[in-house]
A and B are shown apart, each in its own frame.
Chain A
C-alpha cells in the first residue's frame, strides 16, 4: 500500500473497489506526500486536511454500502486538486491574488457540486498565475511553483499548480482552467494529460471569470482514461451557466474501448510548424505524427490560413473581457480594501492598485484601451470579425479530417525568470489560442522528452466542438503506443 500517491483515478478506483485500500488511506498518502515534497515544488496554496479526511471517510462508508461496480463510482473517494479560482464552500479562493487574500467561498461552483456528488474529495487548492493570466505561474502573488521535472524551471501556466501536482505525483488528478492554453501548456511542461473541453461543455458557474467567451474548466490527469473519467464528472448542461447547451454527454470511458488510430484522418496544419518552434519540440511532434501514421492514421496536410492573427485577436478579446470581469474587484463587497482612501474613486483605484499584480494591471489597461471610445471599432470590433475567420478555418478543416495534430507550445519548460518581456511570454500560447477562439476541444498528451535537458513535451490533438469522445479516443490510441513515462 505504499506510494498510493502515484496512482491515477482509474487505478485508485480499482484499488478502492477491491478493498486494497480505503479512501482515507489514499487521501492520507496524498497529504503525507504533500508534507514531504511540496515544500520544494510549491504546487499547493492550501490543503484542508481535516476536511479531506472527513470527505474520504464519507466516501468509504458510501462505497461499503454499494455492491456492483459502476462507472459512476469512478470518482468516489478520489482526491482531486482544485485550481485556486474555483469556489469550494468554506475554502479560500484566492485566484493567486493578494486582492482575495482571506476570502472564504460562500458556495460551491457547479463543477465542485458535481464532483462532490460523485464522491470526489476536493480539499487541496493549487497555485496559478494571478487570475489565470500567465504561462509560467510566476505571476502568482502567493507562492512559487516549480516544475517537478526540473526545479529550476517553471511548471507552465496558468494552471501550473495543477500540472505540478499531477506531474509531481502530489495529486491523483486536478482541475485546471484554460482560456488560451492554461491547461494544455502546463500539462505539456509537466508530463500530464490536459484536456480543454469545448466551449460550453463544462459549467463555469462559481469559477472566477477571466475571459468569459473563452474560459473552460478541464481535467489534468496522469493518463487519457483518467481525463475521460474526470470529464464525465464535470460535463453537462447547467442552468446557472447560460453558455452550456443541453447536448447529451457521451459515456467518455466507453468511447475509449477499442481505441485505434486505424483509418483516423489527422490534419497537419502547416501554420503550426513555424520558425519559432524549438527544434527538439518539433522533433518530438514529428515523431508523434509518424507514430500515428505507422498505427494506420491517414495524415492530411491542411491549412488554417488565419492562424497568424489568432494571438493578436486573443490579446484584444481576452483583456477586454478581463477588464470588465475584474471590475468586480473594487474593495466594496469582498476582497482587499485600501485603508488609504478618502472617497469612493480612491477606494476603487487604490484597493485595485494594492491588490492586483503587474500582469493583471497590464491586461486591465490593455482591455480598457481596446474598449475605449475611439478605439473600440478598430480593435475589439475588428478582432471579433477576425475571430469569425479563425473559427471558419477550423470548420473547413473539420469537414476533411477527424482531428488535428500539432505542437502544444513552442518550447519545453523554460527557466524561472528567463522570460521577462510580456509579449514574449504571450508567444507560449501561439498553438493553443486558435482552438480556444474557435471554441473546439483539444488535449495535450505526453509525447516524449527533450534530448538535451530531458524535459517532458506534449503533443496536441484538436477536434471539433463537442467531439470530446472522438478526441479522447484518438488520444487513448496514441497513449497506448506511447505510454506515459512517470518521473
Chain B
C-alpha cells in the first residue's frame, strides 16, 4: 500500500459516475480518511490464511437444467425509461453509425 491517496475523480470515472467539482472536493478528504482507516488491516498476519467469500461455505448449488417460464416481456419492459417495440431504446453506441 505505497500510495494510499485515492484519486476520486479517476475512480469515479471507472465507476461510470459523473461527479461535480464540489462533490469531488467533499469526497476527496472523506474517502482519504476512510482509506486511511481501512489500512489498519495491513498489520494483520494473513500468511497461509484462506479467503472467506461468503458468510458460510455453500458450493455448487445445482439444480436440473429445465426450461421454465420467465418474466413476461411486457412486464420486463414496463419500467424501461425508453423503448421501441419489444426492445430497450438507447442512444447510439458506435460513433458515426446510422441510428
Contact = CB atoms under 8 A, between A and B. Distances in A.
Nearest to B74: A106
Interface string B49-61: 1111111101001
A439 B44 CA distance: 21
| Max count, chain A CB within 10 A of own CB: residue among B23, B44, B82 | B44
Which DSSP category, helix, strand, loop or mixed, fits chain A's interface?
helix
Chain A contact-residue range equals 35 or more
Interface string B40-73: 1110101001111111101001010000000110
A312 interface: yes
Contacts of B82: 337
A309 B17 contact: no
B88 A350 contact: no
Contacts of A334: 79-81
Contact of A369 (B11, B56, B90): B11
Nearest to A345: B16
B54 A213 contact: yes
Contacts of A437: 52, 55
Nearest to A390: B52
Nearest to A306: B44
Interface in B16-49: 16-20, 23, 26-27, 30-31, 33-35, 37-42, 44, 46, 49
B59 to A, nearest CB: 10
Contact of A350 (B18, B34, B42): B18
Interface string A377-404: 0110111111111010000000000000
B11 A368 contact: yes
A316 B4 CA distance: 14
A36 interface: no
19 contacts: A102-B79, A103-B79, A200-B56, A213-B55, A239-B63, A309-B40, A312-B37, A312-B39, A316-B41, A336-B81, A343-B91, A348-B16, A358-B27, A362-B34, A365-B17, A369-B31, A384-B53, A421-B30, A439-B54
